[in-house]
Structure 1
Amino acid sequence: MRSARRRAPDTGSRSGAAARVRRREAAVRAAFLAPAAAFLLLFLGRPLVDNVTTSLRDSTAVALSGGEAPFTGPDHHVRLLASEEFRRAAATTALYTAGSLAAQFTVGLALALFFHRRFPLGRLVRSLMLLPWLMPLIATGTAWRWMLDADDGIVNEVLRALHLVSADVPWLTGTHEALWSVVLVNTWVGIPFNTALLYAAVQAIPPQVHEAARLDGAGPLRLFRYVTWPLLRPTAGVVLVLGAVYTLRAPDVVLVLTGGGPAGATRTLATLAYEQAYARFEFGRAAATGNVLVLVSLVLALLHLRAVRRARHL
């Protein structure tokens, strides 16, 4: 009885100490998370709330000059989704995003596998690959606009010198050529980002895995299909989601090259929102377009997280 009585206080003190340790650890985690949470609420949460409230009001230059904009509810969203302008911009956005992602990822993956091999000046070439990504998009777009000019552009001059075309190609002024021209430039800008992340993922693969596969008789194609690609798949998902979100929301390349023309052939949802806000001063409709972009980006991120969770449980 005495020994049991002596053990009871010891057990209670141990459980109390464990509870204090858990509370202390929770407080430390909260202290580390607090700055990040405050940053997200201040610089992401507040602008998002302001954008939603703006989309629910008749926020135009005339209305704002006279005072507070009247409340309209979801009227801007309903009219936006029912407009032909939105449907055309959404279709163009889908083509622009899909074409850019496919080209960026394919070329980036090929370059990542290429740079995985050691060769002279390999580090220098990898460093130079980052230049398109580091350059300001305004400078990049201006340079490409000069090169793709139908009359004096160097691209048409080279094609004529090689006798590949007989007439000037309207890269930026043709309704069919303009969209693929902006896809080309956006691909050129995004290739370094894809290459850098995929190259880091390839470098993280243990060399013993490849050596074991080669000893089992795996050739280059089977080695990539059954060893390299499964190990790259998580990083590939992150790269594709980030690339899609950036392409959806960034109007820079299109605005500098074509301004959304000709005849709306390159008008994406991002450039449509820019035009609504800064050309027509329809801030409520621009905010509604921005809400659509945020929703699409959120859906893509959630689909990626769901795919990652399913892969972990397999």
Structure 2
Amino acid sequence: MQRISGRNSILKKNAIFLILIPSFIYLIIFFIYPIFLSFKYSFTNLSLYDINKYSFIGFTNYVDLFKSDLFLKSIYITIIFLVVSAIIGQMFLGSILAYLLTLTHKYFKTVVTTIILIAWATPQVTAGIMWYSTLSYIPEGTINVILKNMGFHPIDFFSIHNAIYSIIIANIWIGLGFSVLIFLGGIQSIDPSIIKASYIDGAKPFRRFFSIIFPLLKTNIITDLLLITLFTLGTFTLIYVLTAGGPAGSTELLTIYQYETGFSLFSLGLANAIGVIIIIIALVLSLIYLRFIKVS
């Protein structure tokens, strides 16, 4: 009997391994290998003019990038976009909205959650066109038509000073549903007796959330932060449809700068170096999140 049970356990382990093989192959072909190539080409002068001829140039691409004011400005814009859009707009507001939904009637919660998830599921090209038609200055978009009919002057939401706020709002609108979904699951998994005890102690709703519920959502917080950071750092389509990085580079995230470097300047080696830097930023932020959660 022991031999039979031992064989069964070995067969189960082998079956699990065999089931995971397609996933490993997929990861290697579409994730690990492209990242390896990106690292490799970032140390070359690969160009779209002739992709078959390139040579190793060491850290020249990285040195040139950090000497470029445009690249440093792009990093600054990306950090602002990440902090306001992802950390504050999606994670923080998403957790509060999820908590407020748990206080409402289940039918209302279902309707609101569905609407939010529809926004999250909307393709970024569609969302970009929708937001552009809403915020456009010339021709006048929906909001400016309303403002004009109310006697106010139209607002150029895509001016050099306002464009960054417009893309932040659009990105929050798209990503909020994901965070709400994660935090709804987390809040509903909290022991009801803890919530009831806070009611007995007379804790107000927001006091209850910040002092009791939010600290119990560490796992959900780190999961949400990691994923929305990766999503936000990789945002390209929405920004390109809305502003294409303009005006005057005021919304030129690292992804937009990478695209322009690769397909306008034809410098694939430099573009790959930018991609590597984006990966490094994502890894560093992930480690910071994990460390912060561990310490807190």
Do the structures match in fold with TM over 0.5?
A: yes
Task: Quote the Cα distance in structure 1 between the aligned partners of 2:205 and 2:271.
Answer: 50
For the residue of structure 2 that corresponds to 1:130, the secondary structure is helix
Pair 1:42 & 2:54 matched:
no
Task: Quote the Cα distance in structure 2 between the aligned partners of 1:299 and 1:126.
Answer: 32
Q: Contact between 2:222 and 2:290, CA under 8 Å: does it hold in 1?
A: no
Task: Quote the Cα distance in structure 2 between the aligned partners of 1:270 and 1:236.
Answer: 25
2:97 to 86, 105, 111: 111
2:289 to 304, 307, 310: 304
In structure 2, the partner of 1:171 is 157
Residue 305 of structure 1, CA deviation: 3.1
In structure 1, the partner of 2:42 is 55
Residue 177 of structure 1, CA deviation: 0.6
Residue 189 of structure 1, CA deviation: 0.8
Task: Quote the Cα distance in structure 2 between the aligned partners of 1:190 and 1:90.
Answer: 21
1:292 to 277, 280, 294: 277
- The C-alpha deviation readout for 1:203-250, integer Å capped at 9, x for no partner, is 111211101222233332332233201111221122122112111111
Q: Contact between 2:128 and 2:241, CA under 8 Å: does it hold in 1?
A: yes
RCO comparison, higher one (Cα < 8 Å, 6+): 2
Task: Percent identity, please.
Answer: 26
Task: Quote the Cα distance in structure 1 between the aligned partners of 2:135 and 2:104.
Answer: 35
Task: Quote the Cα distance in structure 1 between the aligned partners of 2:246 and 2:227.
Answer: 26
Residue 182 of structure 1, CA deviation: 0.7
Aligned runs of 1:43-192 on 2, under 5 Å?
A: 43-64=30-51, 67-101=52-86, 102-119=88-105, 120-151=107-138, 152-163=140-151, 165=152, 167-172=153-158, 174-192=159-177
Q: Contact between 2:218 and 2:293, CA under 8 Å: does it hold in 1?
A: no
Identify the range of structure 1 (111-120 vs 287-296) with the bigger mean alpha-carbon deviation.
Answer: 111-120
Task: Quote the Cα distance in structure 1 between the aligned partners of 2:143 and 2:160.
Answer: 18
Which has the greater radius of gyration?
1
1:272 to 251, 254, 257: 257
Task: Quote the Cα distance in structure 2 between the aligned partners of 1:309 and 1:108.
Answer: 22
Task: Quote the Cα distance in structure 2 between the aligned partners of 1:225 and 1:147.
Answer: 35
Residue 284 of structure 1, CA deviation: 0.7
Q: TM-score, normalized by length of structure 2?
A: 0.89
Task: Quote the Cα distance in structure 2 between the aligned partners of 1:301 and 1:208.
Answer: 33
Instruction: Name the aligned partner's letter for residue 289 of structure 2.
Output: H
Task: Quote the Cα distance in structure 2 between the aligned partners of 1:22 and 1:283.
Answer: 50
In structure 2, the gaps of 5 or more residues are none
For the residue of structure 2 that corresponds to 1:61, the secondary structure is coil
- The C-alpha deviation readout for 1:126-165, integer Å capped at 9, x for no partner, is 21221111111101101111111113111122233344x4
In structure 1, the gaps of 5 or more residues are 1-13
In structure 1, the partner of 2:215 is 230
1:218 to 179, 203, 212: 203
For the residue of structure 1 that corresponds to 2:207, the secondary structure is helix
Instruction: Let me know the Cα RMSD of the aligned residues.
Output: 2.5
Task: Quote the Cα distance in structure 1 between the aligned partners of 2:93 and 2:12.
Answer: 45
Residue 29 of structure 1, CA deviation: 6.1
